[in-house]
Amino acid sequence: MRDRKPASEQPGTTAGDRSAPPVLERVRRRAPAILGGGPWRFRLTPDVDLPGAVTGWRLLYDGAHSRIYRLEAAALVVKLAEPRSRPRDDLRKYVMCQARREYRGAAFLNALGLDTPDMRGWAVSLAPGAHYESALFMRPLPPFVSGLRLLRSESDADRRAAFLARLASELGTLFGHGFVHKDCHFDNLCVRDDGRLVWIDCDIRRPGSAARRRQGLRRALALLRRTARNDIGEREWRIFKQQFGEALAHAPNGPSLIDEIQ
Ligand SMILES: Nc1ncnc2c1ncn2[C@@H]1O[C@H](COP(=O)(O)OP(=O)(O)OP(=O)(O)O)[C@@H](O)[C@H]1O
Ligand SMILES: [Mg+2]
């Protein structure tokens, strides 16, 4: 991701809405209270209406390093990321902050035909001691279960197999085009009611070297296996890996990675 520019920096859309993306605007303004104090630099699609008031935001998710809120009135979800280090690292935290990386990552995923939340922009805090360092703005997802939840609760073998086959195919597309997903586990994957997958946590990169692409694939597989170690059978895992390998075989950078899937 560092060394290549996306075909465009236009926002991602879900597969159901691939109309021309709106033009982005750069603005500086007083931040809405939910982001905390200090100046922020925004890059938002013009259709986003950011109210200043703190009321109306509902906490959806309270993670170790991030919080996700939803604002019903504006059909908006914001993911607020805390700094992982203090003092903040200038390049990674101001120039290529988490929200911006995810925003760009979603555009790459969409270009490959993979679904993500409908991204509406990002913002970075300019205050060195700010509680949150970046904010990712997106539209709320339609109803979904996480991939892990599906593996834990779904007993129908055909539905489990359909999910794993779809995942294998999409992973083959992603890795087979030279990308690496930095946090590839079943909880960072949503399964919609119609069975389609939505990739959240879109922090992906495209390493320049084959060795790092191979390492990225090994790590992703290990993480998938570890996070679902009690929830996926040996036979299911074997078939999943076989399907992943078949998907890689059809992608431009895929064949050189196949032997990592053993
Ligand atoms: N656009 C959205 N609409 C509805 N819910 C969402 C949306 N984006 C994220 N969520 C919910 O928030 C949860 C956490 O999201 P995400 O994985 O992006 O955060 P995270 O795990 O804290 O990220 P990171 O690992 O980068 O810190 C998701 O599992 C999902 O339930
Ligand atoms: Mg996550």
Mind listing the pLDDT tens digit for each residue in 44-59?
A: 998 888 877 778 899 9
Which of 107, 96, 92 has its CA nearest to residue 9?
107
State residue 11's pLDDT score.
Answer: 35
pLDDT at 2: 34
Burial 162-180 (b: 16+ CB within 10 A, else e): ebbbebbbbbbbbbbebbb
Class of domain 144-260: mainly alpha
**Region 164-171 average pLDDT:** 98
Instruction: Give the residue extent of every domain in the chain.
Output: 25-138, 144-260
Q: What is the pLDDT of residues 227-253, one digit of tens each?
A: 999 999 999 999 999 999 999 999 999
Closest by Cα among 76, 96, 190, 82 to 137: 76
> CATH number for the 25-138 domain, one of 3.40.1000, 3.30.200, 3.40.50, 3.30.70?
3.30.200
Confidence at residue 94, expressed as pLDDT on a 0 to 100 scale:
72
Pairing mode, if any, of strands 57-62 and 76-81?
A: unpaired
Alpha-carbon Rg of the chain, whole angstroms?
19
Confidence of residue 20 (pLDDT cuts 50, 70, 90): very low
At which residue do the structure tokens 């560092």 appear? 2
Cα 201 to averaged position of ligand 1 atoms, centre (Å): 7
Which carries the bigger pLDDT value, residue 36 or residue 261? 261
Same CATH topology for 25-138 and 144-260: the answer is no
- Would you place residue 159 in the very low, low, confident or very high pLDDT band (cuts 50, 70, 90)? very high
Q: Examine the pLDDT at 93 and tell me if it is beyond 80.
A: no
pLDDT tens per residue across span 175-222 = 999 999 999 999 999 999 999 999 999 999 999 999 999 999 999 999
Return d(Cα 55, Cα 32) in angstroms, integer. 10
pLDDT of residue 12: 35
pLDDT at 36: 85
The mean pLDDT value of the chain amounts to: 88
> Which residues, including other chains, have CB under 8 Å from residue 157's CB and lie 6 or more apart?
none
Interatomic CA distance for residues 229 and 208, integer angstroms: 31
- CA dist 43 and 123 (Å) reads 6
Strands 119-125 and 76-81: unpaired
Pocket of ligand 1 (CB under 6 A): 60-61, 63, 65-66, 68, 77, 79, 117, 138, 140-141, 146, 183, 188, 200-201
User: What would the two tokens of residue 236 be?
Assistant: 């299911």
Ligand lying closest to the C-alpha of residue 63:
1
Q: Kindly tell me if the per-residue pLDDT of 37 is higher than 80.
A: no
187 alpha carbon – ligand 2 mean position (Å): 6
Cα–Cα distance measured from residue 229 to residue 248, given in angstroms and rounded to the nearest whole number? 23
Q: How far is the CA of 43 from the centre of ligand 2 (A)?
A: 23
Q: What is the pLDDT of residues 100-153, one digit of tens each?
A: 999 999 999 999 999 999 999 999 988 888 899 999 999 999 999 999 999 999
